Every structure is written in structure tokens, then in C-alpha cells.
């Protein structure tokens, strides 16, 4: 676990806000009895986890592929080759979704904007 107390609180706030915005259908599946809090989630996600990563082509077509994900400081970090189609998609259209699923026991679904930490034509992120 690499998260600071502030990062855990930020993650918990995000989890709570996400659940509060969920649809009736999702609430019929997920309840307070089968959710986990931030401290438990970061323990569960320690180590490499396979993510299903969704990107979008220039024609607006969805594409999904797998990446090795690491949950660090309350965020998913993953790598891929700069020449991979998903890298080109994300460079042009950084909105993405990722899912980590363990059977019927755990599903972690994430939607957001990818930040390229080590760009070919720019400076590396300070925390890279």
C-alpha cells in the first residue's frame, strides 16, 4: 500500500460520490453490504492487476485490450509500447475506461483521462 492518508481520503470521497450517482439498476446489484472502502480496496489491489482498457479510434470506434495495471497513490498506472495502437489512441484521445474484474467477487471500474508520464516529445512527469 503506497497511499498517504490524504490520498485514501480522496479515494474514499471518489468512491462515495460514484456510488451516490449510480443508477437504480446498479444499486440493485451493488449495496453497502458488498462494497469496500478505500483502505480495503488499496490492499486488494496491491501488486500487478490485469486491466481491460478501453480506448477510441479516430473513427470513434471502441477498442479494448489488456494492460498490466498497478494501483499506486489511488490511481491506476499502466504501460504500453509507444507504437501500440492503444498508445496512439490515448495520445490523440486521452479519455479512457479501465476495468479490473476478479470473477463475481470484485469489479473495479474506472473512467477518466489518461496522463502520459513519459512522453516521447516532452518532459517526464515529476513523479515518474
Q: What is the pLDDT of residues 43-97, one digit of tens each?
A: 999 999 999 999 999 999 999 999 999 999 999 999 998 889 999 999 999 999 9
CATH superfamily assigned to domain 45-128: Electron Transport, Fmn-binding Protein; Chain A (2.30.110.10)
Residue 117 has what pLDDT? 86
For the cut 90, the answer to whether the pLDDT of residue 100 exceeds it is yes
| Cβ neighbours, 10 Å, residue 66 | 12
Give residue 128's pLDDT band: very low, low, confident or very high (50, 70, 90).
low
List, for residues 84-96, the tens digit of each pLDDT value.
Answer: 999 999 999 999 9
More confident residue, 127 or 43: 43
3-state secondary structure of 27: helix
CA distance 53 to 110: 10
* Domain limits, CATH 2.30.110.10, in the chain: 45-128
CA distance 85 to 91: 10
Segment 17-30 mean pLDDT: 90
For the cut 70, the answer to whether the pLDDT of residue 111 exceeds it is yes
3-state secondary structure of 49: strand
Strand ranges inside the chain, DSSP E: 48-56, 62-72, 75-78, 95-102, 106-113
Residue 70 has what pLDDT? 96
* Structure-block grid coordinates of residue 53: 482498457
CA distance 42 to 124: 26
**Which of 92, 76, 86, 101 is closest to 54 using CA atoms?**
86
Cα atoms found within 13 Å of the Cα of residue 82, Cβ hemisphere only: 6
Amino acid at each position: 500500500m503506497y497511499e498517504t492518508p490524504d490520498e485514501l481520503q480522496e479515494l474514499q470521497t471518489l468512491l462515495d460520490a460514484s456510488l451516490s450517482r449510480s443508477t437504480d439498476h446498479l444499486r440493485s446489484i451493488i449495496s453497502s453490504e458488498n462494497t469496500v472502502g478505500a483502505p480495503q480496496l488499496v490492499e486488494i489491489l496491491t501488486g500487478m492487476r490485469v486491466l481491460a482498457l478501453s480506448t477510441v479510434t479516430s473513427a470513434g470506434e471502441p477498442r479494448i485490450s489488456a494492460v498490466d495495471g498497478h494501483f499506486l497513490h489511488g490511481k491506476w498506472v499502466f504501460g504500453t509500447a509507444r507504437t501500440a495502437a492503444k498508445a496512439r489512441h490515448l495520445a490523440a484521445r486521452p479519455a479512457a475506461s479501465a476495468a479490473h474484474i476478479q470473477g463475481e467477487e470484485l469489479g473495479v471500474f474506472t473512467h477518466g483521462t489518461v496522463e502520459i508520464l513519459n512522453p516521447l516529445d516532452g518532459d517526464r512527469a515529476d513523479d515518474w
